[in-house]
Chain A
Amino acid sequence: MPSSRFGWLVSYPKSGNTWLRVMLSSVLSRGAPIDINSTALKGDIATFAELDEFLCIEASELTRDEIAASRPALHASLAANLREDLILRKVHDRFWHTPSGEAVFVPALSRGAVYLIRDPRDVALSYAHHRGLDVDRLIDLMADASMILSDVTIRGREQLPQPLGSWSGHALSWLDQREIPVLMIRYEDMLADPLTYLGRAAAHLGLATTPAALAAAIEAASFDRLRTQEQTHGFRERQKEATSHFFREGRAGTWRDRLSPAQIDRIVTGHAAVMRRFGYL
């Protein structure tokens, strides 16, 4: 078995990561429908329970620095204990190193990363609904270089702390590093032509597919199907603070009607360079 088995599905939150996970999970199941609340949905995010199980320590007793320092060892232990040829993992972390200089996403264990990027104006809207925050507050968070998801502060978490950084910094951390091969996909492009872009993602991660299997996976992960599943059974990853469904609209460009000129201006001012680089300006 090759040592490079991790396929990192990377994005800033609310950028189509779960949709890609469902599609790739279906590809791995030869186009079968995926129950989004079951283990058939591949690409879990790193959790305290995993750190407990694989490094044999009470993870919730560790400090943020200790957790950070142990992340490469967690990945090594997962690789040693899991049997899949391709270990898909969802990642919201920026690309980062431990204080001692080790890459958290260990290059030697990594087959590749798919980085999904989405227009930050749509991200702001979607993420505000997801977190139950107003859009202006969310725009502040997207500009905050010290932002950490699931930080260890006042309550127990399932997911480990994930250094996120600003929206721009997040994209640059992954796209400008040279340790892991990254395929960048714009959410808007995948929405317009899922067959092409799912095929590229699968190929980048070394998955053998056929056009028919890809088409079946795309159908299995259609927005309507995912939305129906969520309406019928809920979705375990929806946050309790959320003010809308997890699968909310699945469209691009809704910011044009929903953001104020001042909000648009704040996002563009804060992220112009990266937006321009990826064709959003």
Chain B
Amino acid sequence: MSCPSLSPSSAQDRLFYGLRLRTDLALTNLSPMPREGSADVTLSLGHVPDHLNDPIWTSPFIEIGDSETVLLRWGERVRILARAGRELILDTAPGTDGADIEAFLLGAVAGVLLHQRSELALHASCVAIDGKAVAISGPSGRGKSTLAAALAAEGHQLLTDDVCRILFAEGRAWSVPGSSRLRLWPDAAAALHHTPDNLAPGRSGHAKRLLVLPPASPSPIPLAMIVRLSSDARVTVPSLTRLSGTATMARPVDVLYRAGLGRRMGRRLSLFRDFAHLLSIVPSFSLTRTGNMANLPELVELLVSAVREA
């Protein structure tokens, strides 16, 4: 376990949700790219205050100073200041596990940064099935990462876990590859035939395990399907249903990445305009799983068949 060290010899940028991230910190889980041109985002060590002056919104984890400044806290050891979607300043106690910092960067920090850049991001794990991206969205704890890992185990390429950046181009929506690290509860890891104790913790002191898969190639993949994943202990077989009309728009907070945060950062209109546009060009489905991990293969089969028939 070590603090992320400054490595002055590093002359490579990192790919961060399709953005060019420039940093001298030794990040191990972001794909390197040759250092050239100007960066989209910089990450550097520096002083970050405990609190912002006159924040417009606070939680125990996040303070919003204004539309351009957000302070994020991760435990007692890590603070990050995100400015204008272009600059990240990291303040961390000596000895902090670098993996913890990367986990934070790839989740909450990426979410804030994308909101600051007025990008659309889904709260989804995304997998490419036969070249078609399928975003598996839903509230925390519904099994997004588990299903994505099960699909990856069948040979489908994981594009991202938990934060899924969407681009619009050529009249289509595209899924931008992000993190290829899946964080799984031990029972899910075991159901996927991993030995949980052989996997590193996703965060030190936390029960979730980290499954690191080969990163996807950086090219965005056309988004073919948005799946809202839910679980229902009352059902014995999983089901997949195409949504239509207002059902596609229901509870945007379940599909968008931290919609509430985006709204508080002043994104109310653009966020929902982009979301409505997305729903007008990509079909939505409701996927209900049983409460039983043993049904995971059926769930995978159901989704893969639907993508192939689409």
Q: Do A and B assemble together?
A: yes
User: In the complex, how many residues of chain A place their beta carbon closer than 8 angstroms to a beta carbon of chain B?
Assistant: 35
**Would A60 and B292 count as touching, CB distance under 8 A?**
no
Task: State whether A61 and B205 are in contact (beta carbons under 8 Å apart), knowing that A53-B253, A54-B260, A233-B234 are contacts in the complex.
Answer: no
Residues of the A chain whose Cβ atoms lie less than 8 Å from the Cβ of B258: 52, 56
A56, A69, A153: which has the most chain B beta carbons within 10 Å? A56
B233 lies within 8 A of chain A by Cβ: yes
Contact partner of A49 among B139, B185, B203, B208, CB < 8 A? Answer: B139
Alpha-carbon separation in the docked complex, A77 to B264 (Å): 13
Contact partner of A158 among B60, B141, B187, B196, CB < 8 A? Answer: B141
B308 lies within 8 A of chain A by Cβ: no
Instruction: Please count the residue pairs between chain A and chain B whose beta carbons lie under 8 angstroms apart in the complex.
Output: 95
B107, B188, B207: which has the most chain A beta carbons within 10 Å? B207
Contact partner of A77 among B59, B107, B146, B207, CB < 8 A? Answer: B59
**Would B140 and A60 count as touching, CB distance under 8 A?**
yes
**Would A69 and B60 count as touching, CB distance under 8 A?**
yes
Question: Closest residue to A235 on the B side, CB-wise?
Answer: B234
**Would B188 and A57 count as touching, CB distance under 8 A?**
no
| Band of interface residues on B | 35 or more
A204 lies within 8 A of chain B by Cβ: no
B105 lies within 8 A of chain A by Cβ: no
Residues of the B chain whose Cβ atoms lie less than 8 Å from the Cβ of A57: 59, 61-62, 108
Contact partner of B203 among A61, A158, A238, CB < 8 A? Answer: A61
Residues of the A chain whose Cβ atoms lie less than 8 Å from the Cβ of B234: 37, 233-236, 238
Task: Show 14 A/B contacts (Cβ-Cβ < 8 Å), sorted by A.
Answer: A52-B258, A53-B253, A55-B60, A56-B260, A56-B261, A57-B108, A58-B162, A60-B208, A69-B60, A155-B187, A158-B141, A235-B234, A238-B234, A239-B233
The interface of chain B, by Cβ under 8 A from chain A, is 59-62, 75, 103, 107-108, 139-141, 143, 146, 162, 183, 185-188, 196, 202-203, 205-208, 232-234, 253, 258, 260-261, 264, 291-292
Counting from the closest, the 4 A-B pairs by CB-CB distance are A234-B234, A49-B139, A155-B187, A56-B261
